[in-house]
Amino acid sequence: MAEEPMSPVPLPEGTASDTTGSRGSRLLGVLTLVGLAALGVLAFVLTDPDVRIHPSTGAEFGQFDAVRMLYVHVPLAVMTYLAYGLCAVASLGVLIRRTPWWDVTAHAAAEVGTVFCGLVLVTGSIWGRPVWNTWWEWGDVRLMTTLVLFLMFAGYLALRRTTGDPRAVSRRAAVVALVAVLDIPLVNRSVEWWENRTLHQQSTLGDLKIEDLTLFTLMLGFLVLGMVLAWLLLHRFRVGWLERAALDHSVAAAIVERRGETPDDELRRAVGDRSPGEPL
Amino acid sequence: MTHVGYLIAGWGITLGTLAVYALRLVRRGRDLSAQVPDAHRRWLEDQGSGDA
Amino acid sequence: MSVVELRAAVALLGRFPALAGVDLTIHAGETVLLRGPNGAGKTTVLHLCAGLLRPESGGVRVLDHDLTEVVGRRSVRRRVALLGHATGLYDDLTVGENLRFWARAAGLSAAEADRRTDEARSRLEVPDRLLDQPVHTLSAGQRRRTSLAALVVRRPELWLLDEPHAGLDQAGRDLVDALIGDAVAAGGTVVVSSHELDRVAALSPRTVTLAGGAVVDGPATDSGGIR
Amino acid sequence: MSTLRTVLRDARLVAGRDLRIEARSRVVIDQVLPFAVLVLVLFGFALDADHRTLRTFAPGLFWVTVLLSALLAIQRSASLDSADGTGTSLRMSGLSPVARYLGRTAAVFVQLLALEALLVGGLVVLYGVSVEEWFLLVVAGVVAGVAVAAAGTLYGALASGLRARETLLPILVLPVLAPVLIGATRAYDDALGVAAVDGWAWTGLLAVAALVLTVVGASAHGALVED
Query: Is C87 part of any domain?
Result: no
Q: Tell me: do C162 and C71 sit in the same domain.
A: yes
In this prediction, residue C227 carries a pLDDT of: 35
- Residue (of D186, D40, D39) closest to D123 by Cα position: D40
Type and span of the H or E element at A263:
none
Question: Residue A35 falls within a domain, yes or no?
Answer: yes
Query: DSSP H helical segments within C31-139, as ranges?
Result: 42-49, 70-77, 95-105, 110-123
User: Do residues C8 and C41 share a domain?
Assistant: yes
Q: Where are the domains of chain D?
A: 2-225
pLDDT per residue rounded down to tens, chain C (227 residues): 789 999 999 999 888 899 999 999 999 999 999 988 888 899 999 999 999 999 988 999 999 999 999 889 999 999 999 998 899 999 999 999 999 999 999 999 999 999 999 999 999 888 999 999 999 999 988 999 999 999 999 999 999 999 998 878 888 888 888 899 989 899 899 999 988 777 777 777 888 989 888 888 644 444 433 33
pTM of the model: 0.87
Residue A51 in any domain: the answer is yes
Residues C3 and C66 in one domain: yes
- Which subunits count as partners of chain C given 3+ CB pairs below 8 Å? A, D
Tell me chain D's radius of gyration from C-alpha atoms.
18
- Residue A62: phi, psi to the nearest 5? 130, -170
* C-beta atoms surrounding C222 within 10 Å: 10
Co-location of C162 and C205 in the same domain: yes
Regions of chain D with pLDDT less than 50: none
Q: Which chains touch A (3 or more CB pairs under 8 A)?
A: B, C, D
CB D158 within 8 A of CB D221: no
Backbone angles phi and psi of A10, in degrees to 5: -65, 130
> Which of the residues in chain A have pLDDT under 50?
1-14, 197-204, 206, 273-280
Cα A242 to its chain centre, rounded Å, is 18
A178 CB neighbours in chain D (<8 A) are 216, 220
Same domain flag for C72 and C165: yes
Interatomic CA distance for residues D171 and A191, integer angstroms: 20
Domain that holds residue C148: 92-155
Cβ separation A65–B3 shorter than 8 A: yes
Query: What is the total count of domains within chain A?
Result: 1
Domain count, chain C: 2
- Based on the fold, state whether residues C151 and C165 are members of the same structural domain: no
How far apart are the C-alpha atoms of A172 and A160, rounded to whole Å? 9
CA distance C96 to C108: 15
C chain contacts of residue D86, beta-carbon cutoff 8 Å: 86, 88-90
- Of all residues in chain A, the one with the smallest CA distance to B47 is A24
| Local structure of residue C137 (DSSP, 8 states) | G
Q: Among all residues of chain C, which has the CA nearest to that of A270?
A: C37
Residue A96 is assigned to a structural domain of this protein: yes
Q: Indicate if C124 and C180 belong to the same structural domain.
A: no
d(CA C30, CA C36): 19
Distance CA C185, CA C31 (A): 11
- Interface residue A4 vs chain C (CB under 8 A): no
Please report the pLDDT score of residue D187 as a whole number: 94
Rg, C-alpha atoms of chain A: 27
Kindly state whether residue A55 falls inside one of the protein's structural domains.
yes
Same domain assignment for residues C142 and C113: yes
Question: Are C161 and C75 in a shared domain?
Answer: yes
Nearest Cα neighbor of C140 from D84, A278, A63, B39 is D84
Give me the domain span that covers residue A150. 29-249
Tens digit of each residue's pLDDT (9 = 90 or more) over B8-45: 899 999 999 999 999 999 999 999 988 887 776 777 54
Number of H helices, E strands in chain C: 7, 10
CB-based contact (8 Å) between B7 and chain A? yes
Could you tell me if C120 and C180 lie in one domain? Answer: no
Tell me if D123 sits within 8 A of D141, measured CB to CB.
no
By CB atoms closer than 10 A (0-12, 13-18, 19+), residue B19 is exposed
CB contact under 8 A, A179 and D171: no
The residues near D187 (Cβ < 8 Å, ≥ 6 apart) are: D59, D136, D140, D144, D199, D200, D202, D203, D206
Q: Look at A17 and B50 and tell me if their CB atoms are within 8 Å.
A: no
Q: What is the pLDDT of residue D114?
A: 96
Helix crossing, A100-132 with A212-259: angle to 10°? 140
Cα–Cα nearest to C23, from C59, C52, C50: C59
Question: Taking CA atoms, what residue in D is nearest to A165?
Answer: D162
